[in-house]
Amino acid sequence: MMLFAGWRIVGEGTAGETWAAVAEHPPVSVLDRTHVAARTTIGLWLSSQPNASGGRFLSEGWTRGHAPLGRIVVVPADLPLHVRAETAPPRRMLHCQLPGRAALRLPASAQLMERCLDLRSPAIAANLARLAQEVTAPGFASETLIEGLGLTIAAELARDLSGAERRAAGGLAPWQLRRIDEHLAAGHWDCSVSDLAQLCGVSPAHAMRAFRQSSGRSIAAHVAAQRMAQARALLAGDAHSIAEIAAVLRFATPSAFAAAFRRATGDTPGGYRRRARL
């Protein structure tokens, strides 16, 4: 279990071989620690501010320095991950240890290892968010749901990484994918394909083809998924009103944000916020 002294457990659950916990991490002036476990673990960043930490796998296959950590981080079994940051504010994360029988094959390349540090999968993100909700506010059949989510996440993860290995040739480089996500995280939610292509130093047509080759989805679908993830994270907190969130996400009006959120989720921003705070 990936737990360290000083972490406050908000919710925790174990079912079968799946373990999950939501933890609040205290602020630190310097973050310098190594994560390693006998089973594959996966973490979901739940705080509204970006993850400012960097990580590198302690493996012969990893030849670069520390790479930026994304919203979802995967640590394969018995593969140490060193994490560091100059400063780390208070933050909340979901930590999940996946079933042993769903063991993740060690990444065969540095590119796949780098993908583990910034996994972009809407399906996995949605299941992890549901798991976080369940361990903090258990419902009926909680153990069944936790175990089922653990197995589903493990299967989705194996599928994602095996697909990424097949797509690696001809796709965008990891630095280009990071540049796109950094541009979105900076608030440029209304950017065009041409804007993103220029950031990557390629033509718009090549950007569309190569992005799909790298990620398995279109640029538009990725922007929409990232924007929705940011909307959920901001609604789960209380630092911004719904009108302010609409402005941050570059919607013309709060009603336009509400309509888009409802089309995507079937829920209103206010309804989602109330349920996230239960």
Write the CATH number for 240: 1.10.10.60
Q: Are residues 148 and 45 in the same domain?
A: yes
Indicate if 240 and 125 belong to the same structural domain: no
User: What does the pLDDT look like over 58-68, one tens digit per residue?
Assistant: 988 788 888 88
Residue 25 lies in a domain: yes
Q: Which two tokens stand for residue 195?
A: 């804007």
Confidence (pLDDT) at 90: 84
> What is the distance of C-alpha 70 from the center of its chain?
6
CATH number of the domain enclosing 137: 2.60.120.10
Given a cut of 90, whether residue 78 has pLDDT beyond it is no
| 116 and 194, same domain (yes or no) | no
pLDDT of residue 89: 80
Same domain for 160 and 181, yes or no, is no
pLDDT above 90: percentage of residues in the chain? 31
pLDDT digits (tens, 9 = 90+) for 145-198: 999 999 999 888 888 877 655 555 567 887 888 889 889 988 899 888 889 999
> Which tens digits make up the pLDDT trace of 100-159?
766 566 665 677 788 889 888 888 999 999 999 999 988 888 899 999 999 999 888 888
Name the domain count of the chain. 2
Q: Is the dihedral of CA 166, 62, 87, 8 positive or negative?
A: positive
Average pLDDT score, the chain: 85
Which residue range forms the structural domain that includes residue 221? Answer: 174-276
Residue 62 lies in a domain: yes
Percent of the chain with pLDDT over 70: 92
Whether residue 234 is predicted with pLDDT greater than 80 in this model: the reply is yes
